[in-house]
Chains A and B, each alone.
Chain A
Amino acid sequence: MKKLMTLLLMAFVCVGLHAQSKTDLPNVTIKNMDGKDVNIATLNNNGKPIVLTFWATWCGPCIKEHNALNDVYEDWQNETGVKIYAVSIDDSRSTAKVKPVVEGKGWEFEILLDVNSDLKRAMNVSNPPHTFLFDGNGKLVYQHTGYIEGSEEELYEEILKYAKKK
Chain B
Amino acid sequence: MRKHILTTIALALGLGLTASAQSFLENSQVNGSFQTDAQYYMRDNGIDINDLYGKKMGINGFGKVNYTNGNFTAGMRFEAFLPEMNGFRQELNGVGLANFFASYDNGFIGMTVGDIYDQFGCGFVFRTYEEWSLGMDNALRGARVVLRPTQGVTLKGVYGRQRFFWYPYLERDMGAEEYRGIVRGVDAEWDLNQSIPAMNDTKFKMSVGGSFVSKKQEDMSLFYYIPENVGAAAGRIRLGYGNWAFSTEYAYKINDPSAINNFIYKEGRAILSSLSYSQKGFGAVLQVKRIDNMSFKSMYTGKQNDLDINFIPPINYTHTHSLPSMYTYSTQPNGEMAAQLQVNYTIPKGTALGGKYGTKLAFNFSQVNDIIRDSVIDHGNMVINKPGTLGYSSPFFGVSDHRFFRDINFEVDKKISQKWHLTAQYINLYYDIETIEGHAGAPVVQANIGFLDVTYKLNRKQSLRLELQGLWEKEVHAGYEYEESEKKDYQKRGDWAFALLEYTITPHWSFSIADKWNYGNPVEEYRDHYFTGTVSYTHEATRIMLTAGRQSEGVVCVGGVCRTVPASSGVMLTVSTAF
Contacts and interface: CB of A to CB of B under 8 A. Distances in A.
B529 interface: no
A104 B463 contact: no
- The residue among A20, A24, A95 with the most chain B CB atoms within 10 A of its own CB is A20
Given A34-B240, A71-B415, A93-B313, A150 B463 contact: yes
B26 interface: yes
Nearest to B123: A92
Most buried by B among A26, A67, A146: A146
Nearest to A154: B507
B360 interface: yes
Contacts of B4: 2
Interface string B311-323: 1011100101100
Contacts of A128: 561
Contacts of A71: 357, 415
A39 B108 CA distance: 13
A106 B22 CA distance: 47
Contact of B16 (A13, A96, A123, A125): A13
Contacts of A26: 68
B538 A145 contact: yes
Interface stretch (B31-39, B212-220, B516-524): B31-39
A91 interface: yes
Given A146-B559, A151-B507, A154-B507, A106 B346 contact: yes
A78 interface: no
A149 B463 contact: yes
A115 B236 CA distance: 16
Interface stretch (A43-51, A57-65, A79-87): A57-65
B415 A67 contact: yes
Given A144-B538, A144-B540, A100 B277 contact: yes
A99 B415 CA distance: 22
B64 A124 contact: yes
Given A60-B320, A117-B117, A104 B362 contact: yes
Most buried by A among B35, B68, B343: B68
Given A17-B23, A145-B543, A146-B543, A151 B561 contact: no
A48 B311 CA distance: 40
B68 A2 contact: no
Contact of B285 (A9, A17, A64, A96): A96
B27 interface: yes
A26 to B, nearest CB: 7
Contacts of A151: 506-507, 560
B12 interface: yes
Nearest to B65: A124
A150 B460 contact: yes
A148 B540 contact: no
Interface in A82-134: 91-97, 99-106, 115-118, 121-130
Contacts of A164: none
Interface residues of A, number: 69
Interface string B293-323: 0000000000000000001011100101100
Interface of A: 2, 5-6, 9-10, 13, 16-17, 20, 22, 24, 26-27, 34-37, 39, 57-61, 63-65, 67, 71, 91-97, 99-106, 115-118, 121-130, 142-151, 153-154
25 contacts: A2-B4, A6-B12, A9-B11, A16-B19, A17-B19, A20-B23, A22-B29, A36-B194, A58-B318, A94-B313, A94-B318, A101-B283, A105-B360, A116-B118, A124-B32, A124-B64, A126-B576, A128-B561, A144-B541, A145-B576, A146-B559, A149-B506, A150-B461, A150-B506, A153-B506
Interface of B: 4-5, 8, 11-12, 15-16, 19-20, 22-23, 26-27, 29, 31-33, 35, 64, 66, 68, 70-71, 73, 105, 107, 117-119, 121-123, 127, 129, 132-133, 191, 193-194, 205, 207, 238, 240, 245, 247, 272, 274, 276-285, 287, 311, 313-315, 318, 320-321, 342-346, 357-358, 360, 362, 413, 415, 421, 455, 457, 460-463, 465, 504, 506-507, 510, 536, 538, 540-541, 543, 557, 559-563, 576, 578-579
* 8 tightest Cβ-Cβ pairs between the two chains A and B: A104-B344, A100-B283, A58-B318, A104-B283, A146-B560, A92-B122, A103-B278, A96-B274
